[in-house]
Structure 1
């Protein structure tokens, strides 16, 4: 895409100038976008490794006097048929020296186990028969993500996009500290504390990189920016699958996941700050330097007249670009239409995150190889992102979101009723659901930003994103529901998706409509 003549773009306001100056896909934009998606890929490795590190594994209670060398986790022939809880109950025989099922006296709580694999934290931290402790790893991680989003957003707004990305990237190294955790309960506590800290300092990179990419290629290409981030996340998850498949022991693959951290020491020298952020913060000198780099990379000239005009407008930007409406919570509650819209958007975000991460975690429990299933689940994200880019600008935001939630809901509900012997059918329905929710996740970023006014866009979208993290906190706990009914987790995902689909009927279409600047303009959208 050709860059516009820079002499023609300095016309009305600094916002319009920047949108024209930096939009496009010249050499500069391509290089900077590549630099921005690398931390997204690395963050995806950090954000999802707990799925494998704390994966459920097969095990059974050990009965020392009855075990043979290299015993497996399968139920042995000497196990009494009336002791059905092979995981947590140990049979006691009348004569300790024999293992005759007919001489069973009673069963007692188990304190030793035989594991199918020793690659998980389950066996090293003595988590057998404490399933809630295993799933708590994912919940603690996602509590950290909930804090990370506003924290990194604040750092990004206060000190710049580049610094926020650099700090998050370097903090990937914190994940390597988990390999130093000991064994037993003390090791478990150390592990989850480091897991929480890693999540707080790393995962906010997603939104920071999304904002930087959108500001880099122009706000009129929001759907493309969102798709770039979504596809990068899928690539990261695929790389993680490849790593764990070949290096299954959790301490070893976590060390490899944390290894890219030193790369981000170079980012202050190779990643440029957002020119829009520099100008809105009155740093016109640095903004001009970035503009000159863009001109050099993309082969166009910048005259002294343009530089003087941008500098002059930057100095007066604060007075000219502050919204006339000062948004506050009272103003939100004074507009029932906007309040309803915010509630609807919040449920969309919660549902998208809850179902997306719930399905990701459930993928390792599907019939077949867990690594293949996780890889297929990650691959399903890519067509979802592509579908969203195509349909958002053709069918509209509302139809895209409605269709995505409906398809996902139907697939999730129906998957619970497919017999376990139908492996191919189960996986196919699962993947259609994952593709659909991926398209929804992409769409809610764009649609929400267009439904709320400029005077409150940052705070309201941030609020919705916070509520989405509540969904990611709850998602790791859903496997526990399968103890009551195998289909309960996916049925819950399906009902949430269908309810979100129904709520889209209460919102207006925003395709090709001007972004609302005030509450009045937002509520006037029908």
Structure 2
């Protein structure tokens, strides 16, 4: 877009596109992007805290007549050598005064346990010997995420990006309710219900903030916006790791994670709506008010003739700007439907592998906090790589290369002997970096393949289907009981399949964002 400067003031001709005018990276855009990434950081805190709150902890069965004061989880000397299950089996002695192996009468299921820590919900909710209940917390959380993505996508298309972000931010307070539950099996049920609704109300912020940033900063800065969102997620995970490292008790760190919620009341004054959304929904007066506000921030002026022409066009020619997307319109375009299906598999794979590797990180050899931090840090170079390659080699090649590289790393990791700790962690981190680059690319690529009239809904729908992956990811550690490398083998196969599907979509590098289904279809 060409602009003419007169006395250091930009005069905009009538022919110039209003949306392109307000896109860019001026002071207004920088300020709004900073406001948009804060909810992403807070959402990352909410979205990953279950990794620590429902973490596996060491425990063993308690045998009250035989225990000593300050007993530990270490197997005591009096434990019968022929009872190998120290977690879920309780030896019963004929003479409890001696607790001698020779006096072993029988073995029965354990009903009391000794834990090495109170940091997890396992001990307070009596989840010992019910490993599936512990992993189910993550699955229930991600079921909530699955619902949240299309719901918040719909709300952002219907009510606006701004209102959807504010609503999600305020709902961070829902997580604090988990700290009020009691103990025992009934508390577990209450906890999981709150976990579900917290995920429903909060995690849709990811896609809403990303869509707002994409529509805010213009076509030549989309990759920077995507990287900003990706790095913000990593920052949120690192902040959570720091909080849990210093305050490991789950009730306390969950309360801290919920604290930023009141901050988003201020967003009603500071965060602005997307200009594209305002124009697409026929809110011309609000769009013009926002235009003057942007002009004030970025020091340019719009001529009265241009404003009159824009107002006249927006009132008289709504055929493009007011296209109302519906499911029938999607099925009327086979090219767009195919594109949405392909994008959905990309999102599924990116989420399945990303969160699967994140959950697996706390089970790697060494300190679980250090490994989680390394896993989070590995996403940052992945985001940087995506920024560099997306604008140089294109969206398709970046996504293809990232999925192939991640698939190879995940599959090959299954053949590395467990004693090679450094090699295992290195391959793991390379795979995490690769899938992070893919996640970054998927956000950008999908937003460019679908029209403005349904961008929030379709990106939200793709993200919803991705959350099927996040629902399954917390269950993957259970697969290692059959074969140690089965989880990473699944991650690798899913990545390679996603790589193959990239061949079915058009390149979008340096193309204008499509506003209608017809424009999106024409990209084929």
| Band the TM-score falls in, shorter-chain normalisation | over 0.9
Aligned to 1:315: 315
Select 2:11's aligned residue among 7, 10, 18: 7
Q: Residues 469-504 of structure 1, C-alpha deviation per residue, up to 9 Å, x if partnerless?
A: 111111111111122222221121112112222333
In the alignment, which residue of structure 2 is the partner of 1:252? Answer: 252
Aligned to 1:466: 464
Q: TM-score, normalised by structure 2?
A: 0.92
Kindly indicate whether the alpha-carbon contact (under 8 Å) linking 1:2 and 1:24 is maintained by their aligned counterparts in 2. Answer: no
> Structure 1 residues 78, 395: closer, same or farther in 2, change over 3 A?
same
CA–CA distance in structure 1, aligned partners of residues 286 and 499 of structure 2: 45
Shift of 1:463: 3.1
Partner of 1:478: 476
Show the counterpart of 1:414: 412
> In 1, Cα distance between the equivalents of 2:243 and 2:152?
28
Q: Is 1:327–1:455's contact at 8 Å kept on the other side of the alignment? A: no
Alignment of 1:440-451 (within 5 A): 440-451=438-449
Alignment of 1:378-397 (within 5 A): 378-397=376-395
CA distance in structure 2 between the aligned counterparts of 1:62 and 1:125, rounded to whole angstroms:
16
Corresponding residue number in structure 2 for 1:83: 83
1: CA distance between counterparts of 2:285 and 2:522? Answer: 40
Q: In the alignment, what sits opposite 2:121?
A: 121
Counterpart residue number, 2:503: 505
Aligned counterpart, 1:351: 349
Bigger Cα displacement from structure 2, 218-227 vs 161-170: 218-227
1:383 CA drift (Å): 1.0
The whole-number CA distance in structure 2 between the counterparts of 1:507 and 1:274 is: 27
Paired positions, count: 520
1:131–1:341 Cα change, 3 Å: same
Mapped to 2, the partners of 1:327 and 1:265 lie a distance apart of 32
- The change in CA–CA distance for 1:456 and 1:46 in structure 2 (over 3 A counts) is closer
Segment of structure 1 superposing worse, 298-307 or 250-259? 298-307
Cα deviation 1:213-268 (Å, max 9, x = unaligned): 11211144222211111111111000000000000000000110000111111111
User: 2 CA distance for matches of 1:3 and 1:117?
Assistant: 64
Partners of 1:367 and 1:420 within 8 A in 2: no
1:266–1:215 distance in 2 versus 1, CA, 3 Å: same
Partner of 2:375: 377
Q: C-alpha distance in 2, partners of 1:443/1:3?
A: 31
Deviations 1:113-166 (A, max 9, x none): 111111110000000011111111111111111111111122212222111111
Decide which moves more: 293-302 or 80-89: 293-302
Counterpart Cα distance in 2 of 1:470 and 1:4: 50
Alignment of 1:143-158 (within 5 A): 143-158=143-158
Matched position secondary structure for 1:365: coil
TM-score between the two structures when normalised by the length of structure 1 = 0.92
In structure 2, relative to structure 1, the CA distance for the partners of 1:3 and 1:374 (3 Å cut) is farther
Deviation at 1:296, TM superposition (A): 1.7
Match of 1:179 in 2: 179
2:30 paired residue number: 30
Query: Unmatched 5+ residue regions in structure 2?
Result: none
- How many Å separate the matches in 2 of 1:385 and 1:256? 28
CA drift at 1:464: 2.1
Alignment of 1:43-192 (within 5 A): 43-192=43-192
